[in-house]
Amino acid sequence: MPPTRRDRRVIIHFDYDCFYASVFERENPSLKSMPLAVQQKQIIVTCNYEARRRGLHKLQLISEARKIVPDVVIVLGEELGRFRDASKLLYKYLEAFTWSGKVEKLGFDEVWMDVTDLVAYNQALLNQNDLSNSFFQLKQNDPMAGFSYDATKIAGHTFPATRHDEDLESPLNTSLEPGDQLLVRLKLGSHLARHIRLSLEEHQGYTSTVGISTNKILSKLVGNLNKPKGQTTVLPPYVSPNEESPPATNTNNVLLFLDGHDIGKIPGIGFKMSQRIRNHVLSRPTKFEVGLIYGGTQDSIASGDVRLFPGMGPDLLEKILGGPGSERGIGGRAWNLINGIDDTEVQQAKKVPSQISIEDSYIRLDTMPQVLKEFRILASSLVKRMHTDLLEDDDDPSSESQKRWVAHPKTLRLSTRPRPPPHTDGTRTRSFNRISRSSPLPNFVFNLKEAIDATVEKLVQVALVPMFRRLHPQQGGWNLSLMNLAVTNMVETASEDGTGCGRDIGRMFKRQEEALKEWKVEDRDMPPDVIFAPKEDHEMLFDDGREVEPSAGDDISKAAWGNATDIPTGSEDLLYPTQNTASDIWDDGDDNNDENNDMCTICQAIMPAFAMAAHHCYHDLDE
DNA sequence: CTGACTAAG
DNA sequence: GGTTCTTAGTCAG
């Protein structure tokens, strides 16, 4: 039994055409007429359509490409900053069209927009007597902002390309069957999509390929039918008329469209899942060429083969896909997907990423000096990324500082991909598995006054080297093919503009944030809820306080920093009270926090117990 | 919370 | 499952 459809939304999916190449063409328009390829390491990650016309394609070896198109222009695309910037700009441009703010990015070059509200508004505006001269209003409060369009026609391509059962040119707007209401909304959606797509090209210089439907997977998949710079709408009917009708695929455009796709092409069904499904449907394991032979499997299974397989349904899929480690409810979700049902919302933009990571791959990385060198390179990029992505201009006139952290990652993670040592019989079981260790992120990385190189060096010594030892306790023998550095576990800093999203979570922490604001370090460089205190065993201890023994601060010695010149010269790395006494910070509510406050034995300052360790560190370093 | 894994571009 | 580099999410313990 196929699940019930809820086609109440209009979703547009944007995919910028050969995005990396387009970024370079924008910077240098003369490239547009030439075959252009973007290189990372030894492969072409993307190329423009002139290059494709001459036989190049994505993920091709550079050497191969040079043979096929000797005069190909190859640009290096390993620095992702320019792509990130362009992606952000285009995202902001698209976001401005929406009323709901439901705009979701996938990677650098894809965006979904939920335009249900704009479409509904403009549907109500239609004049049934003059549909061909309609005006699409882009703003609710400005009847002049918008564009003219012919509401009797759909804009761009459709799936199916021609409709067999109904005349597209003669729609009525009201009191129709649900399917016809859907047609009207998709029509408006297609005109809006075209307008935005052409605006994007005219004003930003990027062409895109667009899909229009009622959910995320259908809009994404259908766009692929006409690329580049095309758009495609999935036409109704989205449901089969009724049970006694002929085979569903004749009358249900969603299934007609989806059934032809390889099962692994359905978004959400990746390699592992499609392999397990294939194994079951073919009732034998899919055979891979065991060696290095390229070509994969010749056993490809269409989505329709799966959907129509005897006994297929959520329960069977649960048996196939379920088990330890699998997502709960995966069977039902997969069943929905192959039926073209995806009720997941288009997510509103998060202002802060939930993770920032930097990685590099290596042919051979097996000595500590090499590792240290790469640590410095990676950590330096990471700290710079944190600056560009997590700092914003501080418009607070009462402060002279210009930047403040919008979020503080709490965790630092080091991942490596060890190359498995050649086994006894010489067979190398190459694995691409990663292993990782994480630790609290030291506060000093938030210090904007220190030079980046100094911050990086400290980070390497106090955090990365210890983590590396936990990851690879052996003295040698390892050889890494990849290292990745990440900061995760973002804690958003309370924002003053009341429009900040995540009010529910904000409310939870509001009281704590308010209280801790007073404990901020100069220029608000520091996270309000994290402190650190060096420990005697050359490892750093970081915590949110309540688990730190009050005596921890006594263990501090300059030796913990390796050498004296690395010691922070001032109090910049430490938290200390700036204005209020601690008592009025913690005594504001029904919670009884009195026992959390302590007085410093040296300077008599009152502060939460958890801050005492760091505070003592401050005194110790002054000696 | 940590660490492994899956999926996506 | 492969190429590169990155992000997001889920699950077990």
Average pLDDT in the A86-107 region?
Answer: 93
Q: pLDDT tens digits for A408-430?
A: 999 999 999 988 776 667 666 66
Lowest mean pLDDT among A253-262, A405-414, A612-621: A612-621
Strand C positions closer than 7 A to protein CB: 1-12
- Residue A201, class by beta-carbon neighbours within 10 Å (0-12 exposed, 13-18 middle, 19+ buried)? middle
Lowest mean pLDDT among A71-85, A353-367, A494-508: A494-508
Share of chain A above pLDDT 90, in %: 48
DSSP A461: I
Q: How confident is the model at residue A275 (pLDDT cuts 50, 70, 90)?
A: confident
Helix (H) or strand (E) holding A516: helix A503-517
- Residue A582 scores a pLDDT above 70: no
Looking at every residue in chain A, the average pLDDT score rounds to 77
First to last CA, chain A: 76
- Residue A619 scores a pLDDT above 50: no
pLDDT of A41: 84
Q: pLDDT tens digits for A31-40?
A: 999 999 999 8
Lowest mean pLDDT among A81-90, A326-335, A521-530: A521-530
pLDDT of A178: 63
Q: How confident is the model at residue A451 (pLDDT cuts 50, 70, 90)?
A: very high
pLDDT of A117: 97
pLDDT of A176: 54
d(CA A77, CA A38): 6
pLDDT of A323: 78
Q: pLDDT tens digits for A180-211?
A: 899 999 999 999 999 999 999 999 999 999 99
Lowest mean pLDDT among A348-357, A489-498, A595-604: A595-604
pLDDT of A205: 94
Question: Which residues make up the interface with nucleic strand C when CB must lie under 7 A?
Answer: A 40-43, 45, 59, 78, 80, 107, 264, 271, 275, 288, 294, 296, 324-329, 347, 350, 353-361, 381, 385, 430, 432, 482, 484, 486
Strand B positions closer than 7 A to protein CB: 1-9
d(CA A605, CA A559): 27
Q: Tell me the residue type at A279.
A: N
Residues 473-492 of chain A sitting with CB below 7 angstroms of strand B: 489
Q: Find the Å distance, CA of residue A348 to C1' of nucleotide C11.
A: 25
Q: Find the Å distance, CA of residue A413 to C1' of nucleotide B1.
A: 13
d(CA A188, CA A211): 13
pLDDT of A473: 87
3-state secondary structure of A422: coil
Full DSSP string of A343-409: -PPPPPPPSS-SEEEEEEE-S---SHHHHHHHHHHHHHHHHHHHHHHHEEE---TT----EEESEEE
Residue with more model confidence, A234 or A563: A234
Answer whether any strand B atom is within 7 A of the Cβ of A388: no
A423 Cα distance to chain centroid? 38
Helix (H) or strand (E) holding A607: strand A606-608
Residue with more model confidence, A612 or A404: A404
pLDDT of A280: 86
The nucleotide whose C1' lies nearest the CA of A432 is C1
- Residue A568 scores a pLDDT above 70: no
Q: Find the Å distance, CA of residue A466 to C1' of nucleotide C7.
A: 26
Residue with more model confidence, A573 or A251: A251
Q: Tell me the residue type at A29.
A: P
Residue A356, beta-bridge partner list: A487
Lowest mean pLDDT among A235-249, A353-367, A391-405, A585-599: A585-599
- Residue A600 scores a pLDDT above 60: no
What values do phi and psi take at A344, rounded to 5? -70, 140
pLDDT of A159: 95
C1' of nucleotide C1: residue with nearest CA: A296
Q: Find the Å distance, CA of residue A132 to C1' of nucleotide B8.
A: 41
Answer whether any strand B atom is within 7 A of the Cβ of A13: no
User: Please, what are the domains in chain A?
Assistant: 11-258 (3.30.70.270), 263-338 (no CATH), 350-493 (3.30.1490.100), 510-623 (no CATH)
Residue the block writes with tokens 């004296």:
A564
3-state secondary structure of A412: strand
Q: pLDDT tens digits for A479-537?
A: 898 999 999 998 988 765 444 433 333 343 333 433 333 333 333 444 444 333 333 33
Helix (H) or strand (E) holding A114: strand A110-114
pLDDT of A146: 98
Q: Find the Å distance, CA of residue A481 to C1' of nucleotide B2.
A: 23
Answer whether any strand B atom is within 7 A of the Cβ of A25: no
Average pLDDT in the A325-329 region?
Answer: 83
Cβ count near A100 (within 10 Å):
14
Cα dihedral across residues A417, A418, A424, A425: positive or negative: positive
Lowest mean pLDDT among A89-98, A154-163, A202-211, A588-597: A588-597
pLDDT of A339: 94
